[in-house]
Structure 1
Amino acid sequence: MTHEDQSGAAARLTEVTDRLAHAASLAGRDADAVTLIAVSKTQPVEAIEALIAAGVRDFGENRVQEMQAKWPDLRARHPDVRLHCIGRLQSNKAAEAVALCDAIHSVDRTSLVDALAKAMADSASPPTLYVQVDIGEEPQKGGVAIADLPALLAYAKEKGLTIAGLMAVPPLDVEPAPYFALLAKLAADHGLAGLSMGMSGDYETAAMLGATCVRVGSALFGARG
């Protein structure tokens, strides 16, 4: 890792955390109530190390295969770092995700609930779980339909799983605030405190509307060369 890599990562982190804190304060929230997750999918280990050195402790990956390639060594060197699965999770990868991750943000169907319940039964430190909601009615993104959310939450409870909150990705190129507000209402209606919402382009809006986790990639890692 070069000094340039480190200084660039630190500068980007400062900008994001300052903007996040300002947004939270506008809503009368404490910035510490919002966990900043650096989306490290497809990023090289060197770029991740630079952000760890700058102070980031939460990282998000989409694919179990990539997690397995990068994170065992990274976590051996940095045992206080937390890993979040933020991509669509195949049921046959549930056991691997449970073994690797501190949180899984993409629970969206009963078959995955079954697989996670089986894997977590033998886990000494089971991950925190979020149900992903198809907030914009875009099935290609994954997520349970809004109408089916109550049944999925009830099924997860029946299987012994504790759901910490909801996650969603609003449609591209539209104002995200109404979608964030809807997700917050759905969470409140079901007594869930966690809200995983907001990315590089809209994390400030998400923080003002109650996000407890924001998932930020390019704003932290910088544009690709």
Structure 2
Amino acid sequence: MVDPAGRLAEVKATIAGAAKRAQRDPADIRLIAVSKTRDADAIRPLIAAGQRDFGENRVQEAAAKWPALRAEADGIMLHLIGQLQSNKAEEAVALFDAIHSLDRASLVQALAKACEKAGKQPQLFVQVNVGDEEQKGGCAVADLPALLAAAAEAGLTIAGLMAIPPAEVEPAPYFALLDELAERHGLAGRSMGMSGDYETAVTLGATHVRVGTALFGVRE
């Protein structure tokens, strides 16, 4: 049984190795610990081990556990990595430092309004449906230029793109596609790669990897 600090060290070493192979600086890659459905007692050991970026799927769940955890440690950066409903935009802007799932024009408008009201803007990533999967969130590749234009027009600054490749297939071509799209649109951020494929994502340009199981262990 490896302890949380040991798992964190292993994942960081894997990221560093992949970065070196790709002739990249490991410091350019942010490790987001996916803490969705994990309770505060499971999260605290990772915070104690120095982890500061955490990812949640739902606004309500994050609101229930993070204010208390943030009071215990400085420098926590909270990322919303799940789908966001437009009616939760205001709450999300208040709670999160980064939102990785901007994927439609109606959400652009809701976030612009929420950011103006709050007087701040989280880092925003546009989620792209790179596998063209009906059941998955994200804007279609063909719709990306229009969505980026809408965001700019609404006064939002986009930090990068996010994608989740189709399951059970080789993810590399999808990571390469996201990297190419980000390059084409002059965006620095590439949020891609999870527990099973983050090493590949790093070699193909990921700036943010979202890792859950490899850090927290398999769910019981």
Same fold (TM over 0.5): yes
User: Residue 128 of structure 2 aligns with which residue?
Assistant: 133
* Secondary structure in structure 2 of the residue aligned to 1:67: helix
Q: In terms of mean alpha carbon deviation, does 154-163 or 123-132 score higher?
A: 123-132
Letter in 1 for 2:107: L
Aligned-pair CA distance for 1:124: 3.8
* Secondary structure in structure 1 of the residue aligned to 2:3: helix
Aligned-pair CA distance for 1:178: 0.4
Aligned-pair CA distance for 1:123: 2.4
Which stretches in structure 1 are left out of the alignment for 5+ residues? none
1:102 has 2:85 as partner: no
1:12 has 2:31 as partner: no
Q: How many residues align?
A: 220
User: Residue 23 of structure 1 aligns with which residue?
Assistant: 18
Aligned-pair CA distance for 1:139: 2.9
Partners of 1:121 and 1:199 in 2: how far apart?
A: 32
Letter in 1 for 2:30: T
Per-residue deviation, residues 191-217 of structure 1 (Å, max 9, x unmatched): 001000000000000000000000000
Partners of 2:203 and 2:65 in 1: how far apart?
A: 33
Which stretches in structure 2 are left out of the alignment for 5+ residues? none
- Write out the 4+ residue segments of structure 1 that deviate beyond 6 Å after TM superposition: none
User: Residue 151 of structure 1 aligns with which residue?
Assistant: 146
RMSD value, Cα: 1.0
Per-residue deviation, residues 44-74 of structure 1 (Å, max 9, x unmatched): 1011111000111000000001011111111
Percent identical pairs in the alignment equals: 66
1:195 has 2:190 as partner: yes
Partners of 1:19 and 1:31 in 2: how far apart?
A: 10
- 1:67 aligned to 62, 67, 70, which one? 62
Letter in 1 for 2:170: E
User: Residue 123 of structure 1 aligns with which residue?
Assistant: 118
User: Residue 77 of structure 1 aligns with which residue?
Assistant: 72
User: Residue 46 of structure 1 aligns with which residue?
Assistant: 41
Per-residue deviation, residues 123-170 of structure 1 (Å, max 9, x unmatched): 244200000000001132200000000000000000000001000000
